[in-house]
Amino acid sequence: MSKFWERLRAFHGRGKLEGEYVSVANLSWRKFCRNRLAVFSLIVLVLIAVISFLAPLITPYSYSEIDLTLARQPPSPEHILGTDEYGRDMLTRLIYGGRVSMTMALAAMLLQLVIGVVLGCLAGYFGSWVDAFIMRLTDVFMCFPFYIMAVCLAAIVEPGLKNLVLIIGFLSWTGICRIVRAEILSLKENDYILAARSLGIRPGAIIRRHILPNILSPILVAATLSIAGGIMSEASMSFLNLGVRTPESSWGNMLSAAQSMQALVSEWWRWVPPGLMIVIVVLSINYVGEGLRNALDPRISN
């Protein structure tokens, strides 16, 4: 029994078993677990994700089935969050909307992560004209406001989930690219990188084996925070009818459908729940990202 309490004490960072090796990942996880707000936010995100992706098992209604006889009904035991102007169950659309919004944000994050990491690695490692070209390209993308460019591209291509992922991903990679470039510039003159070069190891192998593992922490934090930005971008674009189109449900087009004065004044159940979910998810992701930043920073001990 005493061994159990020693291990529990060691897990929470108050001690370490004699002769036990504690990895960097283990220490970072312990630091993250001591941040109660970040842990609570992570639990909230996991619960929302599980509920959203198990939507067919949770709600008996369809997110797209229309029944005009049930239009604009307030919350009731049959429809916990009421119905919209087409008689569709709002709770069902809210749950399915979470699945669409979160999936879109994750896909957009992966796309901007690939573009940003690849270009940042090329600019930081090779320098010279490669760095100059990529940084000028980054400056061009950052000169134009995101939403103006996104609205223009969405007006040119057909609105939809796939096109929205491509638009957000191709316009939002600049931050990750600059972070990766800055980290590589601070690492590439280290002795172990110079030794790898002197052994004739190819640049791709050096970046993959020796550089990327050492800059994984800022990349992970930036990727986490970009998910929150993706959810906000999807909500904004769908609110303007340039993102996810009905009958597909997302939190953004639910807000767009409730922008009439009648809905704003007397049908609160049509716009309060999706707006509240956006706020909760974005805040939770930001708190998790802040917790990761503190946990992965070796200069912060608590």
105-145 tens-digit pLDDT: 899 999 999 999 999 999 888 878 888 999 999 988 888 88
Cis omega (within 30 of 0) on the bond before 74? no
Instruction: Give the closest residue to 134 by CA, choosing from 173, 160, 105.
Output: 173
Token pair in block for residue 14:
């108050």
Tell me the C-alpha distance between 291 and 175, whole Å. Answer: 20
Tell me the C-alpha distance between 187 and 175, whole Å. Answer: 19
Tell me the C-alpha distance between 279 and 161, whole Å. Answer: 21
Token pair in block for residue 128:
């010279």
205-253 tens-digit pLDDT: 888 888 888 888 888 888 888 888 888 888 888 888 888 887 888 888 8
- Cβ–Cβ < 8 Å for 234, 86: no
Q: What is the DSSP string of the chain?
A: -HHHHHHHHHHTTS---TT----HHHHHHHHHHT-HHHHHHHHHHHHHHHHHHTHHHH-SS-SS---GGGTTPPP-SSSTT-B-TT--BHHHHHHHHHHHHHHHHHHHHHHHHHHHHHHHHHHHHH-HHHHHHHHHHHHHHHHS-HHHHHHHHHHHSPPSHHHHHHHHHHHS-HHHHHHHHHHHHHHTTSHHHHHHHHTT--HHHHIIIIIGGGSHHHHHHHHHHHHHHHHHHHHHHHHTTSSSPTTS--HHHHHHHT-SHHHHHH-GGGTHHHHHHHHHHHHHHHHHHHHHHHHH-TT---
Tell me the C-alpha distance between 275 and 265, whole Å. Answer: 15
176-194 tens-digit pLDDT: 999 999 888 888 878 888 8
Cα atoms in the Cβ-side hemisphere of radius 13 Å centred on 229: 20
252-272 tens-digit pLDDT: 888 888 887 888 888 888 888
Of 16-30, 32-46, 185-199, the one with minimum mean pLDDT is 16-30
pTM reported for the whole predicted model: 0.82
- Cβ–Cβ < 8 Å for 112, 173: yes
43-92 tens-digit pLDDT: 999 999 999 888 888 888 888 888 888 888 888 888 888 888 888 889 99
Greatest mean pLDDT among 128-137, 153-162, 195-204 lies in 128-137
pLDDT band at 300 (very low <50, low <70, confident <90, very high): low
Tell me the C-alpha distance between 244 and 158, whole Å. Answer: 11
Q: Which domains does the chain show, CATH number per domain?
A: 37-59+110-302 (1.10.3720.10)
Instruction: Give the closest residue to 262 by CA, choosing from 71, 63, 27.
Output: 71
